[in-house]
Structure 1
Amino acid sequence: MIRFENVTKVYSTYGRRRTILDRVNFTLKPGISYGIMGINGAGKSTTMKLISGVEEPTRGRISRGLRVSWPLGFAGGFNPRMTGRDNVIFVARIYGEDPRRVLEFVEDFSELGSYLNMPVNTYSSGMGSRLAFGMSMAIPFDTYLIDEILSVGDARFQKRCADVFNKRRETADVILISHSMEQIREYCSQALILINGQAVVYDDVDEAITAYRRLNS
């Protein structure tokens, strides 16, 4: 499970402090896929980064009793001066995976060709997303994090992404941020709504959608 205990997240910008989450407590259970909902600026992406470990809370504690991915398509964890190939090998070793197996998968899936031997800071945003998505799919996670449904490349490549991701979903949960209620219903059975620095978990996704629509009315 994923547990937030008295989690506060504060950002300081130009000398001003902004509290995104204020002593938040909630538990996300294994075997359930969750949607994260809230109006713009409510802290959805921040919450997902905290869940993944990309960022740390200002105060409080986050416990993860399962293997959680980074947000799909998020390339910010790569070393920009290292090649795509070296980044793949490095990340595979961190997660205790066979670097050769992971590299073969990413090489085939990402279709980056010779660019895999180039530094990541030479990649376009789309190429970085291909590398990050391929890495996410190469490593078996218990829970996949998605900050909006990822659309990378042309229609053919997007179908490849959808096919491999749907295969992973057979044995893994999803935590999804989306402004599309249809996508929330498709992928999730429960939801977390963020409002005024607090978080409320709904056991029924339709109840959550109704509450979310009230916030936007």
Structure 2
Amino acid sequence: MIRFENLTKRFVVKGYVKTVMENVSLTIPSKTSVALLGRNGAGKSTLLKMIAGTVDPTSGEILSSGTISWPVGFAGSFHPDMTGAQNTKFLARVYGIDTQALTDFVEDFAELGDHFRQPFRSYSSGMKSRLAFGISMGIKFDTYLVDEVTAVGDAAFKKKASAMFQDRMADAGAVFVSHSMGHVREMCDVGIVIENGQLTYHEDIHEAIAHHESNMKLR
């Protein structure tokens, strides 16, 4: 379960106040795959980062039960001078899981070859995302945060990534940000539409998509 209590988020941009969310209260049930839908700049990625704890709300709070992943595919917290294998082992210790088991899983899944034991700073952006995705899938969370994750890699890797994620979803929930409505229909049960600082929760993903597409036509 993830609960927003009177959640407000504002930014000051060039002297102007931009309100992303205004006094929002809403509950996302456990083991639910929910899509965050909204136009560019509506606040989808900001909300995802607030759920992850990497961005603080202006006021209000986010309460949760169970474990929540970092945004899947996000590699910003890895140490650049450590190898992929060393970063993997470090995160295994942080989350209290078997280091060798996670290392073996990620090495096989991410398909980095010899680069797995080379410094992270030498990786291409695609390699960084594959390492981050592999580690995310190797650690079982109650809720996964997803920002266009299956966009990384070639067609074969995307297919494998999607299959692995579907497997994880059998016992977990997820919060998705995606611009692909086909992907949203495939992966999500419910939807949240973000518009003008407010969140509208839809129990039916098709209703959420229709609401979002209607908003897009109005502007």
The amino acid that maps onto 1:48 is L
Give the Å deviation of 1:16. 4.4
Q: Which residue of 1 is the match for residue 90 of structure 2?
A: 90
Q: Which residue of 2 is the match for residue 174 of structure 1?
A: 174
The amino acid that maps onto 1:202 is H
Contact preservation (8 Å) 1:174, 1:187: no
Q: Does 1:18 align with 2:15?
A: no
Q: How does 1:57-96 map to 2 (within 5 A)?
A: 57-96=57-96
Q: Provide the identity percentage.
A: 46
Q: Which residue of 2 is the match for residue 40 of structure 1?
A: 40
1:18-47 deviation per Cα after TM superposition (whole angstroms, max 9, x unaligned): 322222211100132111101111001111
Q: Does 1:215 align with 2:215?
A: yes
In the aligned structure 1, how far is the partner of 2:31 from the partner of 2:133? 22
Contact preservation (8 Å) 1:72, 1:150: no
In the aligned structure 2, how far is the partner of 1:100 from the partner of 1:149? 25
In the aligned structure 1, how far is the partner of 2:10 from the partner of 2:80? 27
The amino acid that maps onto 2:148 is E
In the aligned structure 2, how far is the partner of 1:180 from the partner of 1:130? 20
Return 43-52 or 178-187, whichever deviates more. 178-187
Q: SS where residue 145 of structure 2 aligns?
A: strand
1:147-197 deviation per Cα after TM superposition (whole angstroms, max 9, x unaligned): 125222222222221222222122222221122222222211211111111
Give the Å deviation of 1:63. 1.0
Q: How does 1:186-197 map to 2 (within 5 A)?
A: 186-197=186-197
Q: SS where residue 150 of structure 2 aligns?
A: coil
Q: SS where residue 62 of structure 2 aligns?
A: strand
In the aligned structure 1, how far is the partner of 2:149 from the partner of 2:123? 21
Contact preservation (8 Å) 2:150, 2:162: no
Alignment: residue pair count: 217
In the aligned structure 2, how far is the partner of 1:201 from the partner of 1:139? 29
The CA RMSD measured in Å over matched residues stands at: 1.7
Q: Does 1:123 align with 2:134?
A: no
In the aligned structure 2, how far is the partner of 1:170 from the partner of 1:92? 22
In the aligned structure 1, how far is the partner of 2:8 from the partner of 2:22? 5
In the aligned structure 1, how far is the partner of 2:54 from the partner of 2:204? 28
Q: Which residue of 1 is the match for residue 8 of structure 2?
A: 8
Q: Does 1:152 align with 2:160?
A: no
Q: SS where residue 57 of structure 1 aligns?
A: coil
- Structure 2 regions of 5+ residues with no counterpart? none
After TM superposition, the score normalised by the length of structure 2 is 0.91
Give the Å deviation of 1:125. 0.4
In the aligned structure 2, how far is the partner of 1:202 from the partner of 1:162? 24
